[in-house]
Amino acid sequence: MFTGLVQALGQIQTCDRDRVSIDCPAIAKNLAIGDSVAVNGVCLTVVEILSYGFIADMSPETLNRSNLGQRNDCPANLEPALAVGDKLGGHFVSGHIDGVGTLVDRIKQGDAWELSFTAPEQVGRYIVEKGSIAINGVSLTISKCNASGTGFSTAVISHTYHNTNLSHIKLGSYVNLEADLLGKYVEKFLRQGLVSPEHSPTRLPDREVTPDFLAEHGWGS
């Protein structure tokens, strides 16, 4: 489990279909074999410690779902796993990427930045205004979005912008997206997890979750 608060920037030195080598001297001394580290938001397991970083194995699922297989010179966001007693300053981030989006606009607003992205439909369904999303592992708040969630913007403060790779990615670059975990569970419970008066599971028809749908099933005010 992670918080979406990036602790260091690293560099992907080698990347093939099976493993990745990360140059990260800022956090390497505190890592042990078996530790979890979010790399651009992707939860990876440390399998070998190097003097300058670590090596992690990658599955085809990881490569298919994320941007880790796309080599470039952009640094990678790094966050070690949350430890018991750590502050939860972002939001609950699992490190399991839902899909890849694209940076489409960058506007400076005073000392902050507005970044706009596209998202695939399977991620957009969970994107709501003022909701949370992890972009390349960075916990951000959605400032606005279209009805489908496939286009959205986030406001990024100067500290976050300059201490993550959000200041390095170029227009058109691919970014890893992880939607808010809570939204996924709520949707599943609404579709499949309702319990009848006899306490037997009932499956809801495959309908869009709308305000009318929620009211019909007792979620209205």
Taking only the tens of pLDDT, the chain with its 221 residues reads: 899 999 999 999 887 778 899 999 999 999 999 999 999 999 999 999 998 999 999 999 998 899 998 877 899 999 999 887 777 788 889 999 999 999 999 999 999 999 999 999 999 999 999 999 999 999 999 999 999 999 999 999 999 999 999 999 999 999 999 999 888 888 888 777 554 445 445 555 566 667 777 777 666 55
pLDDT reported for residue 83:
81
Q: Considering only CA atoms, which of 82, 83, 101, 78 is closest in space to residue 93?
A: 82
Q: How many domains does the chain have?
A: 3
Q: Which domain holds residue 113?
A: 99-180
90 occurs within a structural domain: no
pLDDT reported for residue 143:
97
Residues 6 or more apart in contact with residue 9 via CB below 8 angstroms: 24, 26, 75, 76, 77, 78, 163, 164, 165
Task: Give tens-digit pLDDT for 44-86.
Answer: 999 999 989 999 999 999 988 999 988 778 999 999 998 877 7
86 occurs within a structural domain: no
pLDDT reported for residue 160:
97
pLDDT reported for residue 103:
98
111 and 175 in a single domain? The answer is: yes
Helix and strand totals (H; E) in the chain = 6, 12
132 occurs within a structural domain: yes
pLDDT reported for residue 186:
84
172 and 104 in a single domain? The answer is: yes
- What CA dihedral angle connects 63, 69, 70 and 75, to 10 degrees? 110
87 occurs within a structural domain: no
pLDDT reported for residue 204:
52
- Domain endpoint, select from 33, 51, 80: 80
Residue 123: Cβ-neighbour burial (10 angstroms; 0-12, 13-18, 19+): buried
